[in-house]
Structure 1
Amino acid sequence: MCGRIAQSESRQYYARRLLPDLLEREWAGGDTIPQYNLSPGRPALLLHMLDGKLHSDYVTWGYRTPNEAAAKRKPWINARIEKALTGRYFRHMFRQGRVIVPGGGWFEWTFEDGKKQPWYISRKTNEPIFMAGLTNFQLYAQQEVEVGLVIVTEDSERGMVDIHDRRPVVLESQDALRWMDPETPVEEAAHIAQSRSLATEEFQWWRVTRGVNRPDPANNEPALLDPIESTG
């Protein structure tokens, strides 16, 4: 799964990695504090396309139906790609709400000495990650239901399964643009998510401080991403 992410760069930084020719003045300002330990239930930056233009918004990470909200159930934070298109729950968002959640990396956990040990996962290159996401957010629309987003996940493969059996669908820039383009047919979008996610060999991961385990907005500093030595 994906239960915590880092979004420490500006909107402009992520947007320019997708569209290098993007006009800078269209993306100046509007950024929040850099996030090194962003947890569900808080606003996350998402990128989306409308009328051929790239847009950005901050949307709460987590989605639940009106009935679930009334019952005070916990929101879903991830959507399995195997069920996102065909299942009734996320199908409407797969068709109309495909977005990209950019970041520097994400966290997973193992158990060591009976305690949760966080790991940080990022690309080996100095490039951001573009995670496939789904949302019911609609730009310029008056919405009376809870608005949120989920990150699309797939089965982990090879070495990364030692950290967790699920991982985000992470796309290269051109695939990310096609994924969130409303003109992309749903069948093509499904193919992109199911076959174009970056391979395990493109990533690196290391242990980080257990201070990450506290999902507090004030618990937010670059040192949370620093490698630590194994305790074993």
Structure 2
Amino acid sequence: MCGRFDQSQTARYYASVFGWPDAVFDSEASPAWNVAPGSYRPLMHVQDGEHRIDDVFWSYRARWAEGKVPIVVNARIDKLTNRYWKPLLKSGRAIVPAEGWYEWTGEKGAKQPWHIHRKDRAPLFLLALANFGGFTENRAEAGFVLVTDDAQDGMLDIHDRRPVVLEAADAQLWLDPARSPEEALDLARRAALPPAAFEWYKVSTAVNRAGNQDPQMAVPLLD
């Protein structure tokens, strides 16, 4: 899974490196080194032909599922064609730009956070699904989730799941509304960056507290 991520650049920076100089912004979110569920973060998506970056709530539960399923922050890639997720796979595809994400090892009470990022330190384009409509009772009705897949190789030492990350060009194809849900899912599976593209290091346990924000949180922990 992915329960925190590092989005420590501005939305305009991410739009620039993504190749969206014409993006329409509705984002007031500040850069954050320790993004936790329940916060509003910039998402990239295409709406009515416009390249948009909007702040969306990280957590999701469909309106009709109140009392039936829990609020979640991730969606498994192998479940995206079921009744729950397919409507968002069709019309709610999005990208979360980030510098990295966090996972933990160790026992409860002594959890060690790790910062996972590209070896070349380029921005990550994380696959997401979102409901960009409004909500009536719960903010999670109009929220987003990150798409995850099984971890492989050395990543299994940190966690058994990981976000699906694409190169910018493939991420733009994922966002294309003309692409069918089946084509988008096939792209996600074929083009996902492999574990060899990433590296990770230990960081301060200050990350363990959701409200903490500091640039030092993403810096390698000295042994």
TM-score by structure 2 length?
A: 0.91
Give secondary structure in 1 for the equivalent of 2:105. strand
Q: 2:214 aligns with which of 212, 217, 221?
A: 221
The alpha-carbon distance between structure 1 residues 124 and 92, as it changes in their structure 2 partners (threshold 3 A), is: same
Give secondary structure in 2 for the equivalent of 1:115. coil
Q: Is the 8 A contact 1:10 1:31 kept in 2?
A: no
The alpha-carbon distance between structure 1 residues 165 and 17, as it changes in their structure 2 partners (threshold 3 A), is: same
Counterpart of 1:83 in structure 2 is: 79
1:194 counterpart letter in structure 2: R
In structure 2, stretches of 5+ residues that fail to align are none
Deviating beyond 6 angstroms after TM superposition, the runs of 4 or more aligned structure 1 residues are none
Seq. identity, %: 42
TM-score by structure 1 length?
A: 0.87
What is the alpha-carbon distance in structure 2 between the residues aligned to residue 174 and residue 103 of structure 1? 16
Structure 1 residue 199, shift from structure 2 partner: 1.0
Q: Is the 8 A contact 1:136 1:149 kept in 2?
A: yes
The alpha-carbon distance between structure 1 residues 2 and 95, as it changes in their structure 2 partners (threshold 3 A), is: same
Counterpart of 1:38 in structure 2 is: 35
Structure 1 residue 183, shift from structure 2 partner: 1.0
What is the alpha-carbon distance in structure 2 between the residues aligned to residue 17 and residue 186 of structure 1? 26
Q: Deviations over 1:69-120 (max 9, x none)?
A: 4x497511000000112x1111110111000011110000110696111000
What is the alpha-carbon distance in structure 2 between the residues aligned to residue 39 and residue 190 of structure 1? 26
Structure 1 position 17 matched with structure 2 position 17: yes
Q: CA RMSD in A?
A: 2.1
Give secondary structure in 2 for the equivalent of 1:92. helix
Counterpart of 2:90 in structure 1 is: 95
In structure 1, stretches of 5+ residues that fail to align are none
Counterpart of 1:181 in structure 2 is: 176
What is the alpha-carbon distance in structure 2 between the residues aligned to residue 126 and residue 59 of structure 1? 25
Q: Deviations over 1:149-194 (max 9, x none)?
A: 0000001111111100100000001110010111112221011111
